[in-house]
Amino acid sequence: MAYQENEYLALSALQHILFCPRQCALIHVEQLWEENLFTAQGRVMHERVDRGDQADRGKTRIEYGLPLKSARLGLTGKADVVEFHRTDSPVQKWVPFPVEYKRGKPKKDLSDKVQLCAQAICLEEMLNTDILSGALFYGKTRHRLEVTFDEALRHKTMETAAQLHAMIESRITPPPKYAKKCDTCSFLSLCMPKAIEKKRTVSTWLQRMVREDITE
């Protein structure tokens, strides 16, 4: 399946939907945005990276803020950094190596890796090439984590893109579900997962009481 350009969604939304589908819908369906210290630090980091232009370091050429798109994924966005590594192969002289910058530290889930893999799929489609790996640079650890784009990660990326399109098309914001990560989410005051869950619990209890009264 190939998407039309008017159907393209933000590539960054992949990370949002894997972190929290409700947060993703608040941003991309309801068009809301809330910033806190963590999102502000992340934004500043990306702005610093995007201010770069080009760099030539012999066998490595570096492009900053490279526009991306994929008809297969139906996504468009921008790569923080793409390194082009020079090889001795007459078939492929420059091999793309995407690098995504993140504020914090490596996550337990696949959200960052899926976002990076989507960038690689975009580059493969745009440049008609194969990309085996890329890297995530984390500001908190000041360390690069190399990511291999194996079949499992590619499948997860395609699956997540399809899930994103389905949710955006439905225009339905999922209900809140509180988790520990909610405490550091910039949408905590808008989402109110604890308050809404408590309200739902009370409502369920009242409905049960009414049903029991009727059956007595």
Domain ranges within the chain, ordered by starting residue: 5-174, 178-216
In this prediction, residue 29 carries a pLDDT of: 92
CATH topology for 5-174? Lambda Exonuclease; Chain A (3.90.320)
- SS3 (DSSP) at 103: coil
In this prediction, residue 179 carries a pLDDT of: 84
Cα(102)–Cα(82) distance, rounded to whole angstroms?
Answer: 15
Alpha carbon of 50 to those of 105, 140, 183: distances in Å? Answer: 20, 19, 29
Cα(166)–Cα(74) distance, rounded to whole angstroms?
Answer: 12
Tokens read off for 102: 């993140």
In this prediction, residue 37 carries a pLDDT of: 46
Q: Are 111 and 18 in contact (CB under 8 A)?
A: yes
In this prediction, residue 83 carries a pLDDT of: 96
Q: Are 130 and 115 in contact (CB under 8 A)?
A: no
Tokens read off for 12: 């960054």
Alpha carbon of 18 to those of 7, 85, 97, 157: distances in Å? Answer: 20, 31, 23, 10
In this prediction, residue 35 carries a pLDDT of: 55
In this prediction, residue 51 carries a pLDDT of: 56
Alpha carbon of 29 to those of 110, 169, 216: distances in Å? Answer: 23, 9, 45
- SS3 (DSSP) at 111: helix
Q: Are 64 and 47 in contact (CB under 8 A)?
A: no
In this prediction, residue 170 carries a pLDDT of: 96
pTM (predicted TM-score): 0.78
How would DSSP label each residue in 127-156?
A: HT----EEEEEETTTTEEEEEE--HHHHHH
What does each of the 216 residues of the chain score in pLDDT, given as a tens digit? 789 999 999 999 999 999 999 999 999 999 887 655 455 454 555 555 555 555 556 689 999 999 999 999 999 999 999 999 988 877 768 899 999 999 888 988 999 999 999 999 999 999 999 999 999 999 889 999 999 999 999 999 999 999 999 999 999 999 888 888 888 888 888 787 776 555 544 444 445 545 555 545
In this prediction, residue 184 carries a pLDDT of: 80
